[in-house]
Amino acid sequence: MSALLHQLPSSCQGYAPRPSVPQQGLKGSAPQVQCRPTRILSHRTLAQAVSAPPAAPEKSKGKDKPKQQKSLTPEVAKDLYRDMFLGREFEEMCAQMYYRGKMFGFVHLYSGQEAVSTGVLRAMRPDDYVCSTYRDHVHALSKGVPAKNIMAELFGKKTGICRGQGGSMHMFSAEHNLLGGFAFIGEGIPIGLGAAFGVKYRKESIGLEGSDQVVASFFGDGTCNVGQFYECLNMASLYKLPIIFVVENNLWAIGMNHPRATGPSDPNDTEPHIWKKGPAFGMPGVLVDGMDVQKVREVAVEAVARARAGLGPTLIEAETYRFRGHSLADPDELRRKEEKEHYAARDPIPQLKKAILEGNILTQDELKEIEKDVLAEVDAAVQFAEESPKPDKAQLLENVFADPKGFGIHEDGRYKYQMPGFSSGNSALV
């Protein structure tokens, strides 16, 4: 198990900006690696994306950067940096705790993809909805769920956001409109769409004027081959629902490389482009550099505004990469070192740091202060989780039904839940 740690790209351990790997050199050393060319499309407006899909990928990353990006305000920069840094540190701490046996089962970490969660969710309102997958810790953090309650959930403790009943893949928080972490591929898409339907219904059928929330629905490249994805694109467009579909294309569905699983959307294409499926369903499709939080944020702001204005859904494909295996149980044998290095060089956290310092938005000291604060928060989360009590045994039979009469009637005529000791819980039938 500890061998896994050594396989990690070194960027997972520190945040010093690394020199980018030149595309040429990468191709020269390993021609069979299927690295996607870096495409920067966030400068296209959504309207443009619908009417005129980008013709050719832009090879050079540096070319359009200076003129395209608006500078961040110090407040926003602080918020984005803090959220991404927290996401990374939280997940790296999870890995440590998993290897120490503090958490168990399947734990899927988000390291490397932070720009997507932060870029989208920190551009939304607290009352907007989010629907996630089994890789859900960082979405929950970005949505504002306290780190300590997520950590306690992972430790299987009573103080976890789901009192230890959900675990890593099933983070829910009604308070934060976090609709859940769903473990099945594509399962969350109709759930998120249902929430969007509810928002529109409350406004149009019940007449609640303030009902203008937007749903962010996250899922991966592998999910885009599941039927529910297509059924939901159709219905989102048909009903013009306030939702943004965010595809976190990290190139790998466990060990299945994206081009091995997905066919092209255009006869002239030689590789798959998920964003092109948007226009086919009558909604904008946008490809964005998912390793650049500012670009993700720019696209998200526009898509959320469209949705809130009643103009319907948007499909966003964020090109990203996970720095670790599919889960902590994945030996990660199929992804090539060159590919990992290519994306490690585009680590979103040092990228943002560099942009903040170069743009004189925050000082080195201010960033250090944020980092110190986050590290303390993560340590406190571990301590909180460690010190929290396990769930009571009585909890076993709670929450199965909203109305405990659902357990049925006992032989003596009383409801079963009224029997003494009913909730003490035992696997043997009583």
Partner 1 sequence: MQALLQFGRNGLRQQAQSKYLSQALRGYASKELTVRDALNSALDEELARDDRVFIMGEEVGEYQGAYKITRGLLQKYGAKRVRDTPITEAGFTGIGAGAAFAGLRPIVEFMTFNFAMQAIDQIINSSAKTLYMSAGTISSPIVFRGPNGAAAGVAAQHSQCYAAWYSHVPGLKVLAPYDAEDCRGLLKAAIRDPDPVVFLENEILYGSAFPVDDTILGKDFTLPIGKAKVQREGKDITLVGFGKMVGYNLEAAKELEKEGVSAEVINVRTLKPLDRETIVNSVRKTHRVVCVEEGWPQSGFTAEIVATVNEECFDDLDAPPERVTGAEVPMPYAANLEAAALPQVKDVIRVAKRCLGR
Question: Which of residues 76, 256, 280, 311 is near partner 1 by CB under 8 A?
Answer: 256
**Of residues 185-244, which lie at the interface with partner 1 (CB under 8 A)?**
185-186, 222-223, 225-227
User: Can residue 282 be called a binding residue for partner 1 (CB under 8 A)?
Assistant: no
Q: Render the burial of 7-38: b for 16+ CB within 10 Å, e for the rest.
A: ebbebbeebeebeebeeeebeeeeeeeebbeb
Output the smallest distance, CB 373 to partner 1, in A: 30
Of the candidate spans 115-123, 202-210, 251-259, 360-368, the one that interacts with partner 1 by CB under 8 A turns out to be 251-259
Query: Do 285 and 49 touch, CB atoms closer than 8 A?
Result: yes
Query: Do 63 and 288 touch, CB atoms closer than 8 A?
Result: no
Output the smallest distance, CB 251 to partner 1, in A: 14
Cβ proximity to partner 1: between 72 and 103 the closer is: 103
Output the smallest distance, CB 351 to partner 1, in A: 29
Question: Which of residues 260, 354, 405, 414 is near partner 1 by CB under 8 A?
Answer: 260
User: Can residue 106 be called a binding residue for partner 1 (CB under 8 A)?
Assistant: yes
- The Cα–Cα gap between 305 and 46 comes to 11
Output the smallest distance, CB 60 to partner 1, in A: 31
Output the smallest distance, CB 359 to partner 1, in A: 41
Interface with partner 1 (CB under 8 A), residue total 48
Output the smallest distance, CB 331 to partner 1, in A: 8
Which residues, in sequence order, are CB contacts of 98 under 8 Å at separation 6+? 104, 107, 328
Using CB atoms within 10 A of its CB, is residue 376 exposed (0-12), middle (13-18) or buried (19+)? exposed
User: Can residue 255 be called a binding residue for partner 1 (CB under 8 A)?
Assistant: yes
**Of residues 368-427, which lie at the interface with partner 1 (CB under 8 A)?**
390-391, 393, 395-397, 400, 407, 425-427
- The Cα–Cα gap between 63 and 274 comes to 25
Using CB atoms within 10 A of its CB, is residue 53 exposed (0-12), middle (13-18) or buried (19+)? buried
CA-nearest of 250, 315, 261 to 109 is 250
Return the CA Rg of the chain.
Answer: 22
Question: Which of residues 4, 334, 357, 375 is near partner 1 by CB under 8 A?
Answer: 334
Output the smallest distance, CB 90 to partner 1, in A: 18
Q: Residue 107 carries which side chain, given as an amino acid letter?
A: V
The structure tokens listed for 393 are 């045994």
Residues binding partner 1 (CB under 8 A): 103-106, 153, 156-157, 162, 164-170, 182-186, 222-223, 225-227, 253-256, 260-262, 331, 333-334, 390-391, 393, 395-397, 400, 407, 425-429
